[in-house]
Structure 1
Amino acid sequence: MSWTLYPATQFAAHAARWAECNRRSTASPLLEPDFVHPLLREFGNGDEQLVCYERQGELLAMGIVARRRRGVWETFQPSQAPVSLWMHAPGLNLSTLLAELTRKLPGLPLMLGLTQRDPQLEPRPAPGGCLRTVDYIDTARITLAGSFEDYWNARGKNLRNNLKKQRAKLQKEGVATRMQVSRAPEEMAAAVADYGRLESAGWKAQLGTAIHPENAQGRFYTAMLEGFARRGAAAVYRYWFDNQLVAMDLCIEGDGCMIVLKTTYDETVPSSLSPTMLMREECCQQLFAEQRFARLEFYGKVMEWHTRWTDEIRTMYHVNHYRWPVLLQLHAIANQRAALRGQRPATAPAPAQSLQHGNPSTE
């Protein structure tokens, strides 16, 4: 049994094995080659390593790792990826796997980190020896069981009454609402362009993080959504007030769930209206009626508006493995001292902003 390392630039040659490893472990859409390959192409720097673990000819684990700084390696983690690019067969000892990989990586790695792990996909390992875990963020989901009426009646009165009033206001003003769902591969490029125009008119344009068809983000989402759409596993939701596009969701599907990757809305809409929430209500009605999926996943840090829609919240986590136990102890002491000084612990990266956002004044 051993680890083999390849340049991650050769991912395409190993995509079939990656897909099989995912199917036998996490089965997550976020780890499908259609997601990983464009992610590497647009956001990798060429130094990433594709790592493969085999025992008696059987592939049991795969991941993509990169050197973060001297002595520290971690999973490749662009902000566009909700979970880390790592998977291993159930029942394997993660501490043993990471210890063997640490010894195989170039140089003298002192720590190897697996970032943004999801307990929905893999139980959180118990700390001990050279391994510890660190809380990352809380994230939310909606279980799509039963009827929409039962789900909706279990929500708070404020949410239900607020959206009812908004619909009445729009109707009084003669504004027609409409939800459009695009699924075909040939529709994805135009959908990403629409999303970029909507996002570029808001606060993200000022930060330079908005999607544009010609930037890395735009190219990634277009290629990724086209790949999923070719096998019927992508959905782009547009929401309209008459002929005005006011909100959008970019989603992928698989393993019994729909994942909302990104959400944006028209910030020129009056603050008394919540286009993303109106869209979300109609989307949930449709998903409950169709019964195609077991859950709707949001990923990203739980915001106040998430708690109005669900009480299903779980904590994602990081895994840190140290070459020797004394390094874990020294790191813990350093983090305690940093906490006393009000600094962020070195083993706890800053939580990423939620990939979804809504009208902050009403949602």
Structure 2
Amino acid sequence: MSWTVYPARDFARHAADWERLHANGPATSLLAVDFVAPLVEQFGREHDLLAVWRNQGAIAAMAIVRPTRRGAWATLQPAQAPLGLWLQQPGLDTEKLARSLLGALPGFPLIVALTQMDPFLMPRPDDGPCTRTLDYIDTARVTLAGSFDDYWAGRGKNLRGNLKKQRARLEREGIATRLQIDRDPAAMAQAVADYGRLESSGWKAGKGTAVHAENAQGRYYRAMLEALAGRNAAGVYRYYFNEQLVAMDLCVEDADSIVVLKTSYDESVPSNWSPTLLMREEACRALFDAGRFARLEFYGRVMEWHLRWTDEVRTMYHVNYYRWPGLRRLHTMLESKLNTRSRPAPSPTTSL
């Protein structure tokens, strides 16, 4: 039982192994080979490694890892990936796997981190002498059980009333709404281009973070969506006011869930309209009616609007595995001191 490491740029040579291992575990689309391969191609770096753990010749765990600072490695975590790139067969001891990985990585690392883990897919381990878990973000989901009408009746009166008023006003003003869902691989290039135009018209353009058909993000989303759509595992949701494209979702799917990866809207739309929420209402109705999926996952940090849509929230986490118990204690102590120093001093009226 041992780890072997390869350059991550050779991922294509090991893609079949990744796909088989993925099929044996929680087969989320966010760790599918067609999701991961374009990540490595577009956002990989020279020193990234693919680690493979074999048990009696059979591959039972794989990960893509990157050096983050001297003495530290972590699972590859581009901004486009909601989950850290770690796969293992169910039932294996994650702590033992991660700690043994320390011995296989170059440079005698002192710590390896598994980032952005989902407790629904991999139970959160207990803290231990060499193990420390940290909260990452709260994320939300909608369980797609029962009828949409029952689900919608359980939403807050403000949300339901606001969208009902918007629809009545749109009708009075002669604005027809339309939800278009595309699943054809040949439609994905245009979808990414359209999404890029929406995003580039807003605040992200000024920060240089917008998707564009010709940048690395655009190339990633096109390749990933085309590949997954070829397996009937991707969908693009467009929402129109008459012929004006006003909102979009880029989604990926697995057997049980649909994940909203990216959402954008036309920021030129007057602020008294909520095109994203209107789109979400119609998309949810379609998902409930189709009965294909058990869950709608958002995976981003919980925002106020998520809590109007659902009360199902869970906490994602990171895990640090240390070479020695003393190093874990030292790291925790230093971090506690830094947090104390950076915490604002209490005001004179604050109760202590």
Asked whether the two chains share a fold, i.e. TM above 0.5, the reply is yes
Q: For residue 190 of structure 1, what is the aligned residue in structure 2?
A: 190
State the 4+ residue runs in structure 1 displaced beyond 6 angstroms.
none
Distance 1:14 1:111 in 2: 26
CA distance in 2, matches of 1:231, 1:99: 36
Task: For residue 243 of structure 1, report the CA deviation from its aligned partner.
Answer: 0.8
Identity across the alignment (%): 60
The equivalent residue for 1:168 is 168
The residue that corresponds to 2:346 in the other structure is none
Determine the C-alpha separation between the residues in 2 that align with 1:293 and 1:25.
Answer: 18
Q: Does 1:79 align with 2:107?
A: no
Q: How does 1:139-288 map to 2 (within 5 A)?
A: 139-288=139-288
Q: Give 3-state SS (helix, strand or coil) of 1:78's partner.
A: coil
- Cα distance in 1 for partners of 2:93, 2:321 equals 12
The equivalences for 1:1-363 within 5 A come to 1-342=1-342
How well do the aligned residues superpose, as a CA RMSD in angstroms? Answer: 0.8
Report the secondary structure of 2:82's partner residue: coil
Show structure 2 runs of 5+ residues with no match.
344-352
CA distance in 2, matches of 1:96, 1:241: 54
Q: Could you tell me the TM-score, scaled by structure 1's length?
A: 0.94
- 1:349 alignment partner in structure 2: none
Q: Which amino acid aligns with 2:291?
A: Q
Cα shift at 1:310: 0.3
Q: Distance in 2 between matches of 1:87 and 1:287?
A: 29
Displacement of 1:46 in angstroms is 2.4
1:22 Cα deviation from its structure 2 partner: 1.1
Aligned to 1:350: none
Letter in 1 for 2:35: F
Q: Show CA shifts across 1:80-131 (max 9, x none).
A: 0000000111221122111211011101101100000001111101111201
Distance in 2, matches of 1:20 and 1:341, equals 48
Q: CA deviation at 1:132?
A: 0.9
Distance 1:34 1:92 in 2: 25
- Alignment coverage as a number of residue pairs: 343
CA distance in 1 between counterparts of 2:163 and 2:132 reads 44
Listed one character per residue, the Cα deviations across residues 254-307 of structure 1 (whole Å, up to 9, x for unaligned) are 031000000000111111110000000000000000000000000110000000
Question: Who is 2:347 aligned against?
Answer: none
Residue of structure 2 in register with 1:361 after alignment: none
Distance apart, 1:342 and its partner CA: 1.6
The DSSP-based 3-state class of the residue aligned with 2:342 is coil
Which string of whole-angstrom CA distances, capped at 9 and with x for unpartnered residues, describes residues 221-267 of structure 1? 00000000111111000000001100000001103100000000011
**Equivalent-residue separation in structure 1 for 2:162 and 2:241 (angstroms):** 17
Query: Displacement, 1:26?
Result: 2.2
Deviations 1:116-155 (CA, angstroms, capped at 9, x unpaired): 0001111101111201100000000000000001100000
Give the aligned residue type for 2:156: G
Structure 1 letter corresponding to 2:210: A
For residues 150 and 282 of structure 2, the distance between their equivalents in structure 1, rounded to whole angstroms, comes to 15
